[in-house]
Structure 1
Amino acid sequence: MLSWLERRFSVREAGSDGKTEILAGITTFMTMAYIIFVNPSILSNTGMPFGPLMVATCLASALATLCMAFLANYPIALAPGMGLNAFFAFGVVLGMGISWEVALAAIFLEGVLFILLTMTRLRESIVNGIPKSLKIGISAGIGLFIAFIGLQSAGIIVKNDAVLVGLGDLKSTPVLLAFLGFFLMVALEARKVRGSILLGILAITALSVVLGVSKAPEGIVSLPPSIAPIFGKMDFSMVGNANFWIVLFSFFFVDFFDTVGTLVGVTNRAGMLDAKGQLPRAQQALLADAIGTTAGAVLGTSTVTSYVESASGVEQGGRTGLTALVTALLFLAALFFSPLVSIVPACATAPALILVGIFMMMGLRELDFDDWTDFVPACVALLVMPFSYSIAHGIEFGIISFVVLKLATGKTKEASPLMIGLCLVFLAKEIFV
């Protein structure tokens, strides 16, 4: 069986072997398995049930990752995207008052649009029109937004009527556990321990059971909860409403660059880019992402995207889709451990949100701090997202400030027609919508 898989995924030709690919797949799963806990925790704030969300998360992750394995033969795993799930819950449903059923409809159509763009190769062409500085700012802004949500979920940051936000009760057991979890995850990450986030979540969950913050599970293995409460519940009744398309475009924009950035970053580290710096089989890889997003909406979860944690498997030697296949099978196996998942408290998942947010802000080191027409728009996107509690607004004001500053300083050639068009669309939206 292993030899057949090695031939199917051209493992030897890629300079790897079956055992290495399997270990890489396990490593990738360990580094991103926190999404099984965190995604339902975030999306359940909309009123969606936790159990079915966990099932949808595992199924969508497994399906999309299988598509990546068999269509593109890349060692890249996919799952509901961090930041995109926060935007779904806090920006769209709670912030704009749009039902989660309508939000799922927007994601479904986003996925269909992605499939069409991928088949025409337009999706590959568009990415070249967005400046690198804004990609960095948007990614870092999402990271800061996620970290802010994590601080609130942990009870470290709470509402303060006098100054908007303030410190919570730092002596409470859940807050102390959240602090412990964060420093444990960081220490493990610094020591290059595989699955540092997952290990931190498990350790704090165990402590929370001992300390009475969570109840001990009645069992370990069980059949997965029914997915019926969220499966196929998309509501297209708001298709004629302008806000629906604003939400769809916001999901589209963030997912677009998150996916392309991850693909390029991970494959570059693995030495998979060609001599021209281009990604072979890019169309197939983007198609896997698009299919995952569309299927994820049907299953009942937010946008599915490629995960940068796939780089951990690449560092373990993963070079082909066999790595992704192993990761997908582990997501399916995780479906049968819902009793354990259900006891995971917010104080265990919140540190993961904070740390993932910090990971996403690391890209700021690639920003050119000397060019103010690049630096300032990136900072605008970075700051507006968490403070407006809206990823969409961060993207809008980042693009608007980029175009305005380029035109105002005579750098008109750096403001592409695409960017100018997006700027005009966003300005019209703010003025007339």
Structure 2
Amino acid sequence: MSIQIPRGTQDILPGEVEKWQFIEKKARELCERFQYKEIRTPIFEHTELFTRGVGETTDVVQKEMYTFTDRGDRSLTLRPEGTAAAVRSFVEHKMYGDPNQPVKLYYMGPMFRYERPQAGRFRQFVQFGVEALGSQDPAIDAEVIALAMSIYNSLGLKKLKLIINSLGDKESRLAHRSALIQHFEPRIGEFCQDCQNRLEKNPMRILDCKQDREHDLMKSAPSIIEYLNDESKGYFEKVQQYLTALAIPFTVDPNLVRGLDYYNHTAFEIMSDAEGFGAITTLCGGGRYNGLTQEIGGPETPGIGFAFSIERFIAALKAEAVELPVNKGIDCYLVSLGEEAKDYTVGLLQRLRLAGFSAERDYLDRKIKAQMKAADRLNAKYVAILGENELKENRILVKRMETGDQWEMNLENFIEKFLELQQ
């Protein structure tokens, strides 16, 4: 019986993995420009981190976490998202005491959620995320959104739509909460069991329900915008002002509700408008979470961040037919004829690589024609051909594959001469 990959996971093979590496590299480069530094946290954490940080009423905690008990009878969970772990590390290592504030972090790595696999959605997925902790200036909200948009734009995505909303401060949310309960309670029996459970615990999460999204009460539900106090309104207006100054188009959607409990004030999603992208159009989501550090045991610290999956990023690139500049081939393929020449290319190949070139040679004792075909498959820029006669005469033949131009070079200073060819 053959063993196959678990459902909801994938193998990323050579030829495809280069796209991932390119996206990851570009995201890192942009984070460096914006002064965000990388943080790496464990793949599993104490379960309590997510029940407290993400929220007990969320689908993530209630239905999607991979939780297990270890040999010490501790409940541990494979991380379903990155923010709670980053904030836990921020608190545990007392980064709030660093002189450079706000603390700007980014992370990248596998996350795990037990949900129904579908196009662009997996049970193990790679998430890239950013967190800015220590500032409640609305300008940092705009910066975080600008960073997310910059990553997408830098890789050629154009059909993007930025949706923003304000979830308000604690006072505004309490007023909105009461209005939602009053609105839904008389007919809550018409909603799914999840929504019924959320009515008292977190009624705003009802607005995020996929099952009952077409219910008429959803369309007439009171908007959080109507319950924002003056401070929250002013904050949201500033965020919009800064986004306009940054020439970032956006749409305000009062029904945007992020799926995790820790959000307040600014919430946003970046969606793909590409034709054929699929029913789930969200590429990236984020927002402000001013109470999360206290929930995890730290001091009151404002924060904002976003996260996106690399899988959905690649799906969006495919939908827009964007070709990333990857798989460009190798610099040199060594073709050898005869046993002595073949032995010599072992050391020559190493010298090429140590000089900074991507290079390869034949390992299957193929004929010269088959070796040339192998070089062509690898998209080699040059081939260097070494036979028994060339070896005796201390020379090597170099051919540029694109043009057919050829040079004879002294074997002893081949590396130096090959370097000159690149200039």
TM range (shorter): under 0.3
- Normalization by structure 2: what TM-score? 0.24
- Normalization by structure 1: what TM-score? 0.24
Which one has the bigger helix percentage?
A: 1
Indicate the structure (1 or 2) with the bigger Cα radius of gyration: 2
Which one has the bigger strand percentage?
A: 2
Identify the structure with bigger relative contact order (alpha carbons < 8 Å, sequence gap 6+). Answer: 1
